[in-house]
């Protein structure tokens, strides 16, 4: 019944299976109750920061609760979209909370017990909590590459000490024997397996996720360096991470171990197929001179800081829902490592404020910033004032606005909720989830979107649509037409508004139907008229 739970049991355990079954069954009922309540509670707003309080105080084993959420997500067919939408949000929250706990435990360990690979996996897991990523699986893939290196090494030097030892048990002291390991690594990684730096799509976030680096065999300097360093250490060669500006490197000691002379090291560019560089060549790599401090070794925490910093910068590059989520995740990670960093706390407060979410949490963050750095009172005061205004406006909201098609002011509205449409000008496919009898946007938006150039300008119905590229848009009626080949719209918010895809149109969920009570029948009649056999 629940094969994914087998991993929580051992053959040697003495288990009361009736009690386990009861616990799993009750956890399932509890999960269903909570998921069902989310749409009613949070339809008109982002799930607030205290919205998950029910889950944090669960009276059942969390792995049973998670398993039920996975069952909901894996339901077959095109039904249960709203349940799947909120089950996904809850699972996202649960897993991220668990990963943050693991990250904090990792950071509290002695430095020598902080594996660079494990740190990279934790970042990967936090940014992709719904993916099946685990250290054991990633380590197994790295071990497989290490075994391939041993095979190459055996053909070059059958008596090499790396062949006799288990992973990481010894460090090879002789530089020439270390060189043989690195040569074999370069042969396997870059010649046999075709790993390479991703120069063509450098700013793709997948380059930073270690499980994607292993799948796609490409990455950026820091992710490829973590892989390279891990394999080298498993074969007895101690490489160290170097936080070089603009291009992360590794260093390999050629002199006395622990030397502080930067010229006693050869520097390795894992992004550049393992090329070995001198100090001068490192400067050529980035095009300018740097001081000696940039050639120094860094800790695992500093490596993670740079990895998270890269993701932060990617999140800032665009203004899309996906980039905002990346920005939120990377800020969470950064502040887990450096909870009192005022700059990143302020960025987090501004981000939540900009997105219009979690105003109470924004106030908590601003209070923390003020206590850490009173000189920020100007920026803090501005955000506090506007956040309080947001909270007051929310209190004054009277409830959902209900739009009846029978109202005289709505007589020009031709299309209805749930219809699959096509944009005449831009060609994108979309589904309608809201409408207004005329354009309700401000003068600046109307001017920027050049709405007045349309034949009917802003004085025509406008529709809120979910687009297949993941965006939400506001389209004029004259720019939309029925889609001759309706198909599912792969939008992350589809379940927020719709409960089912029939194959021709979407069915509004209960909360959306309350707001547009007369649309469902019109949608069905329209679909019958347009898509019935023999109709054009």
Residue-wise pLDDT tens digits, 145-172: 999 999 999 999 999 999 886 656 678 8
Return the closest-CA partner of residue 424 out of 368, 481, 378, 376.
481
Reported as a single tens digit per residue, the pLDDT across 8-30 is 888 888 888 899 999 999 999 99
Do β-strands 275-277 and 239-242 pair in parallel, antiparallel, or remain unpaired? unpaired
Question: How high is the pLDDT of residue 7?
Answer: 83
What's the rounded mean pLDDT across residues 325-354?
94
Reported as a single tens digit per residue, the pLDDT across 174-184 is 999 999 999 99
CB count within 10 Å of CB 26 equals: 15
Return the closest-CA partner of residue 184 out of 166, 215, 163, 168.
163
Reported as a single tens digit per residue, the pLDDT across 444-474 is 999 999 999 999 999 999 999 999 998 899 9
Q: How far is CA 83 from CA 42, 78, 325, in A?
A: 13, 11, 21
Structure tokens at 458: 């802003």
pLDDT for 501 beyond 90:
yes
Q: Which residue has the higher pLDDT, 138 or 48?
A: 138
Question: How high is the pLDDT of residue 50?
Answer: 60
Sign of CA dihedral 349, 353, 355, 356: positive
pLDDT for 439 beyond 80:
yes
Q: Which residue has the higher pLDDT, 536 or 347?
A: 347
Question: How high is the pLDDT of residue 1?
Answer: 73
CB count within 10 Å of CB 459 equals: 11
Question: How high is the pLDDT of residue 360?
Answer: 87
Question: How high is the pLDDT of residue 48?
Answer: 60
**Domain residue ranges in the chain:** 4-108, 135-303, 339-397, 408-531
pLDDT for 491 beyond 50:
yes
Angle formed at CA 109 by CA 108 and CA 110, multiple of 5 degrees: 120
Question: How high is the pLDDT of residue 346?
Answer: 96
Q: What would you report as the CA-atom Rg of the chain, rounded to the nearest whole angstrom?
A: 28
**508: CB partners within 8 A, 6+ apart:** 417, 418, 497, 498, 499, 516, 519, 520
| Spatial separation of the C-alpha atoms in residues 502 and 296, rounded to whole Å | 61
What's the rounded mean pLDDT across residues 240-256?
93
pLDDT for 534 beyond 60:
no
* Interior/surface letters 230-262, b for 16+ CB within 10 angstroms, e for the rest: bbbbbbbbbbebbbbeebbbbbbbeeeeeeeeb
Question: How high is the pLDDT of residue 536?
Answer: 47
Alpha-helical runs (H) found in 253-341: 279-286, 300-317, 321-337
pLDDT for 84 beyond 90:
yes
If you ran DSSP here, which 8-state letter would residue 295 be given? G
Give the architecture (CATH level 2) of 408-531: Roll (2.30)
Do β-strands 480-482 and 265-269 pair in parallel, antiparallel, or remain unpaired? unpaired
| Spatial separation of the C-alpha atoms in residues 261 and 258, rounded to whole Å | 9
pLDDT for 388 beyond 80:
yes
Look up tokens 């024997």; give the residue: 177
Reported as a single tens digit per residue, the pLDDT across 284-327 is 999 998 899 999 999 999 999 999 999 999 998 877 777 889 99
Question: How high is the pLDDT of residue 64?
Answer: 92
| Spatial separation of the C-alpha atoms in residues 221 and 247, rounded to whole Å | 6
**525: CB partners within 8 A, 6+ apart:** none
| Spatial separation of the C-alpha atoms in residues 276 and 389, rounded to whole Å | 58
Question: How high is the pLDDT of residue 169?
Answer: 64
Is residue 369 helix, strand or coil? helix
pTM of the prediction? 0.88
pLDDT for 370 beyond 70:
yes
Structure tokens at 86: 């909120």
Q: Which residue has the higher pLDDT, 272 or 39?
A: 272
Q: Which residue has the higher pLDDT, 361 or 227?
A: 227
Reported as a single tens digit per residue, the pLDDT across 252-286 is 998 888 889 999 999 999 999 999 999 999 999 99
Question: How high is the pLDDT of residue 278?
Answer: 95
């Amino acid at each position: 019944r629940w094969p994914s739970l087998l991993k929580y049991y051992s053959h040697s355990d003495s288990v009361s299976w009736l009690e386990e079954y009861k616990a799993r069954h009750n956890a399932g009922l509890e999960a269903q109750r909570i998921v069902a309540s989310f749409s009613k509670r949070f339809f008109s707003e982002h799930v607030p920061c205290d919205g998950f309080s029910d889950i944090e105080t669960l009276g059942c084993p969390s792995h049973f609760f998670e398993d039920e959420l996975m069952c909901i997500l894996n339901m077959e067919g095109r039904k249960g979209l709203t349940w799947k939408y909120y089950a996904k949000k809850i699972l996202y929250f649960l897993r991220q909370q668990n990963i943050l706990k693991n990250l904090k435990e990792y950071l509290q360990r002695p430095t020598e017990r902080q594996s660079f690979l494990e740190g990279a996996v934790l970042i990967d897991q936090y940014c992709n909590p719904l993916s099946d990523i685990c250290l054991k699986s990633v380590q197994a893939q790295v071990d497989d590459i290490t075994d391939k290196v041993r095979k190459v090494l055996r053909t070059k030097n059958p008596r090499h000490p790396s062949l006799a030892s288990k992973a990481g048990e010894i460090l090879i002291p002789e530089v020439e024997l270390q060189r043989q390991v690195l040569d074999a690594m370069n042969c396997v990684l870059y010649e046999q397996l075709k790993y390479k730096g991703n120069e063509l799509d450098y700013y793709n976030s997948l380059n930073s996720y270690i499980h994607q680096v292993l799948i796609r065999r490409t990455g950026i300097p820091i992710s490829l360096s973590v892989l390279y360093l891990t394999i080298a250490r498993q074969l007895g060669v101690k490489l160290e991470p170097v936080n070089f500006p603009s291009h992360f490197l590794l260093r390999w000691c050629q002199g006395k171990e622990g030397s502080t002379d930067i010229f006693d090291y050869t520097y390795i560019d894992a992004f550049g197929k393992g090329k070995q560089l001198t100090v001068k060549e490192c400067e050529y790599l980035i095009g300018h001179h740097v001081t000696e401090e940039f050639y120094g070794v860094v800790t695992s925490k500093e490596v993670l800081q740079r990895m998270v910093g890269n993701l932060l910068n990617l999140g800032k590059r665009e203004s899309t829902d996906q980039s905002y989520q990346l920005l939120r995740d990377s800020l969470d990670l950064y502040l887990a490592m450096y909870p009192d960093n005022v700059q990143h706390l302020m960025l987090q407060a501004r981000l939540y404020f900009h997105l219009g979410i979690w105003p109470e949490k924004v106030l908590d963050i601003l209070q923390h910033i003020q206590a850490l750095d009173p000189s920020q009172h100007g920026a803090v005061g501005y955000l506090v004032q506007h956040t309080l205004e947001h909270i007051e406006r929310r209190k004054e909201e009277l409830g959902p606005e209900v739009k009846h098609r029978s109202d005289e002011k709505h007589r020009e509205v031709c299309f209805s909720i749930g219809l699959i449409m096509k944009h005449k000008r831009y060609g994108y496919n979309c589904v309608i989830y809201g409408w207004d009898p005329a354009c309700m946007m401000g003068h600046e938006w109307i001017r920027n979107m050049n709405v007045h150039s349309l034949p009917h300008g802003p004085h025509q119905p406008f529709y809120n649509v979910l687009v297949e590229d993941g965006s939400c848009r506001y389209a004029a009626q004259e720019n939309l037409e029925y889609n001759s080949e309706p198909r599912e719209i792969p939008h992350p918010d589809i379940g927020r508004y719709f409960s089912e895809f029939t194959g021709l149109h979407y069915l509004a969920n209960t909360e959306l139907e309350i707001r547009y009570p007369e649309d469902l029948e019109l949608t069905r009649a329209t679909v019958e008229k347009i898509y019935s056999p023999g109709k054009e």
